[in-house]
Amino acid sequence: MSRFDVEVRIKPRPGLLDPQGKAVHHALESLGYDGVSEAKVGRLIALTVEAGSESDARDRVEEMCRKLLANPVTEDFSLRITEAPTATDGDG
Amino acid sequence: MKVAVITFPGSNCDYDCYQALKTLGGFEPEFRWHRDEKLGDVDAVLLPGGFSYGDYLRSGAIARFSPIMEAVVEFARSGGPVAGICNGFQILCESGLLPGALLPNESLLFRSYDVHIRVETVKTPFTSAYERHQVLRIPIAHGDGNFHADEETLAELEGDDRIVFRYVDADGSLTPEANPNGSAHHIAGIVNASRNVLGMMPHPERAVEPVLGSTDGAGLFTSLRRHLEGAMA
């Protein structure tokens, strides 16, 4: 078993009204930052997962996303997976 | 008539629902805790408003995995009447018993005041005591009440007479100002395809006696009572 750090990025689906993103965009404009054509606000969920391989970790987290972490009606998700550094401090 | 009122950690309208059922009479309300695995012998289920699990992740997302929800889903699938109010509506959408989702209000503001809603169909166990197109004054109190569904689902809801309540002005007109949260098609409440599961954002249990400022919500409970009496007769 290896440990993987998985970042789950959840974003409002394209075309969906995102009032938070709109408010952030508006605030950026008021601060004088022009050239920002869009802002979307989502969530980042950081998991540490034990799995036999990277693809196992991906399969399991994708299932978690479909079941709980993202709402398929309103949100899209993407994953970024990296192998976690092995613990070397002899705590086990 | 035994009605189970489900309490989740963070529910805050469970006692309001309980009290409304007591006040209107003919019901024996009973609380069920989210950890209970059985509903027991009940005739209807109410999912009350509040902020179950602190609205963490998404409103209703974690409550739907409470042990009691398995029994609620089974009860609903076997045709038992289930009504979710406010957070209860959000839980029903998350659990897949109702289509769509409730997004943050378009204004990003928590809206807490009386609104007008129009009864769009009386062909449900929850609205038979009303007149079609009757306008009710009922309070709302929510931050995530903006009903969203894809175009296909909205067309299905419209076509199958499954939109139960819409936000309107006092005259019953669908003005943009009357929509407090940006909901698609002014939707304030819907039923599932077999019409025994209702979700609505406004709070009928807070409008059941004159001292509360409106009695327009009482019809929801008297409809349910009539439905259950009919089912037992």
Q: Is the pLDDT of residue A86 over 80?
A: no
- pLDDT band for A85, please (50, 70, 90 cuts): confident
Contacts A19 to B, Cβ<8 Å: 103-108, 146, 182
User: Rounded distance, CA A52 to CA A6, Å?
Assistant: 14
Q: Is the pLDDT of residue A91 over 70?
A: no
Residue B116's nearest CA partner among B49, B48, B188 is: B188
What is the structure's pLDDT at A90? 52
What is the structure's pLDDT at B11? 96
pTM, two decimals, is: 0.92
Is residue A91 in some structural domain?
no
Question: Catalytic site residue B133?
Answer: no
Predicted ipTM of the assembly: 0.81
Number of domains, chain A: 1
Q: List the catalytic residue out of B34, B142, B203, B227.
A: B203
Is residue A65 in some structural domain?
yes
Question: Catalytic site residue B205?
Answer: yes
Question: Catalytic site residue B86?
Answer: yes
What is the structure's pLDDT at B178? 98
* DSSP H or E segment with residue A19: helix A19-30
Please report the DSSP string for B8-42 in residue order.
Answer: -TTB-SHHHHHHHHHHH-S-EEEEEETT-----S-
- Considering only CB atoms, which residues of chain B are within 8 Å of chain A? 57-58, 61-62, 65, 93-94, 99-101, 103-108, 146, 148-150, 182
What is the structure's pLDDT at A52? 95
* Average confidence (pLDDT) per 10 residues, chain B, 233 residues: 97 97 96 97 97 92 94 97 98 97 94 98 98 98 97 98 98 97 98 98 97 97 96 74
Find, in chain A, the residue whose alpha carbon is nearest to that of B144. A19
What is the structure's pLDDT at A74? 94
Q: List the catalytic residue out of B13, B86, B93, B186.
A: B86
CB contact (8 A) between residue A19 and residue B61 = no
Taking the Cβ of residue A19 and every Cβ of chain B, the question of whether any pair is shorter than 8 Å is answered with yes
CB B143 within 8 A of CB B180: no
Q: Note the pLDDT tens digit of each residue in B160-191.
A: 999 999 999 999 999 999 999 999 999 999 99
* Distances, alpha carbon B12 to alpha carbons A1, A6, B8, B35, B47, in Å: 44, 35, 9, 17, 11
- Chain A, 27-66: which have a CB under 8 Å from a chain B CB? none
Q: Note the pLDDT tens digit of each residue in A1-49.
A: 899 999 999 999 988 888 889 999 999 999 999 999 999 999 999 999 9
The backbone torsions φ and ψ at residue B29, rounded to the nearest 5 degrees and listed phi first, read -75, 145
Taking the Cβ of residue A79 and every Cβ of chain B, the question of whether any pair is shorter than 8 Å is answered with no
User: Chain B closest CA to A68's CA: distance in Å?
Assistant: 7
CB contact (8 A) between residue A68 and residue B182 = no
Is residue A92 in some structural domain?
no
CB atoms within 10 A of CB B179: 21
Residue A47 sits in a domain of what CATH number? Answer: 3.30.1280.10
Domain of B88 in residue numbering reads as 2-232
Number of domains, chain B: 1
Domain of A43 in residue numbering reads as 2-83
User: Rounded distance, CA B199 to CA B217, Å?
Assistant: 14
User: Chain B closest CA to A90's CA: distance in Å?
Assistant: 35
Residue B104 corresponds to which amino acid?
Answer: P
% of chain B beyond a pLDDT of 90: 98
Q: Is the pLDDT of residue A92 over 70?
A: no
Mean pLDDT of A37-66: 96
CB contact (8 A) between residue B105 and residue A19 = yes
Is residue A43 in some structural domain?
yes
Residue B195 sits in a domain of what CATH number? Answer: 3.40.50.880
What is the structure's pLDDT at A84? 87
- pLDDT band for A87, please (50, 70, 90 cuts): low
User: Rounded distance, CA A27 to CA B150, Å?
Assistant: 29
CB B165 within 8 A of CB B231: no
SS3 B7: strand
Is residue A12 in some structural domain?
yes
Pairing of the two strands B2-7 and B28-33: parallel
The per-residue pLDDT of chain B, averaged, comes to 96
User: Chain B closest CA to A85's CA: distance in Å?
Assistant: 28
